[in-house]
Amino acid sequence: MSRRQFALPERVSPAPLDDTGCTVLHVDMDAFYASATLLSHPELVGTPVIVGGGTRGVVLSATYEARRFGVTSAMPMSRARRLCPQATVLRPDHDLYAAISAGVMETFRSVTPHLEPLSLDEAFLDVSGAVRRLGSPATIGQLIRDTVHDEQGITCSVGVAPSKFVAKLASNLAKPDGMVVVPHDEVVPFVQQLPVAALWGVGDRTEESLVRLGLRTVADIAHTPLATLERAMGTATGRHLHELSWGRDPRPVEREQREKSIGSDETFEADLDDAVLIRRHLLALSERTAGRMRAAGLTGRTVTLKVRFSDFTTITRSRTLREPTDSGRAVHEAAVGLFDALGLQRARIRLVGVRMSGLLEVRRTPIQGVIGEPEHGWRDADRAVDRARARFGSGVVRPASLIEPRTSASVRRPRDLS
């Protein structure tokens, strides 16, 4: 479903109603990356803040104060700055996001094993098996909201409904920091009061096609003959829209699937042709990727390097390690080896990325020690760094080569921390 916001229909109350049978919850963190970043900048709460990288990057997230100026996720940073020049720009902190997301997902798992994560910051939950233990679905939704706020310091919005589709609609309408319950007998009027853009899978182009047909609300779609919809939109799309317009969504909550890969990339402020600088960036990306694997309880065997040149040509190279690892040092060694093997001579590079695949759960894959390596080595050091970062912030410990020299050129402007 589109992340566009819609007004709450008058006949649906945000207060809990009859939630009998409404055992599907959709929980979505509010402006997750921005909210998490502000934990380290409490003085900026309530002000326009954009999380993103440089003038050539894109917006990762923005506070609701910045969104009022038209700033949206994935928007080019240059445009976001023009729309909201008074905003404070903060660099993303991916280690922090991974740690908070891991905590949020553990909260969900304490409620039910029937969990379907959609991203770091949202998931579906089937709480039918938790009702006897924890109370009604709405009570469980409020418990989750309170726990996330108390333990992670951020807010989330919850939709409570009989199906995934309606629960996701409800959580979108509950934003920010709210909960909407859609009773079973209110599903059809709830859905049909919404604009067509609210339907799952309706993007800008589909919306334009529907409006050209005179279909502006979901009710308009519901009362259009199925044959007409199929003829105008195609058989699959027409039937899909028809089913959703009557609130029908039989899909169950799918048990969570482990990520197939974990990685990070970086677009440079200006194209780089200095191999030493590029290796430093690869070190930061390798440490970030390894930290995310450790937070998820995973190791990986295959390291993939991505390089994008100034003309946007992109290449990837991979290497499979002898043993699975979650060590930033091991990932970096492999990534640098792949980069050096390219033999690039002063090529102008726009972006580099590091990704790990072949992921395995740590508890199922004890990591083989290296002959001659001390008993307490890099893995223990990595975990000590993780604990320090969790307590004091991600920038408190870092490799020495990533520490910027204290020069006047490196002093950041007071209102732009990018």
Task: Supply the residues annotated as catalytic.
Answer: 122
Q: Give dist(CA 41, CA 48) in Å, integer.
A: 12
Sheet containing 49-52: order of strands: 59-62, 49-52, 88-90, 416-417
Backbone angles phi and psi of 270, in degrees to 5: -140, 150
DSSP string spanning 288-328? HHHHHHHHTTEEEEEEEEEEEETT--EEEEEEEEEEEE--H
Distance of alpha carbon 216 from alpha carbon 214, whole angstroms: 6
**Residue 117: cis peptide before it, omega within 30 degrees of 0:** no
Please choose, from the candidates 310, 392, 282, 377, the residue with its C-alpha nearest in 3D space to the C-alpha of residue 39: 392
In whole angstroms, what separates CA 2 from the centre of its chain? 15
CB 230 within 8 A of CB 210: no
Give the three-class secondary structure for 415. Answer: coil
Start-to-end Cα distance in the chain: 31
| Residue 368: strand, helix, or coil | coil
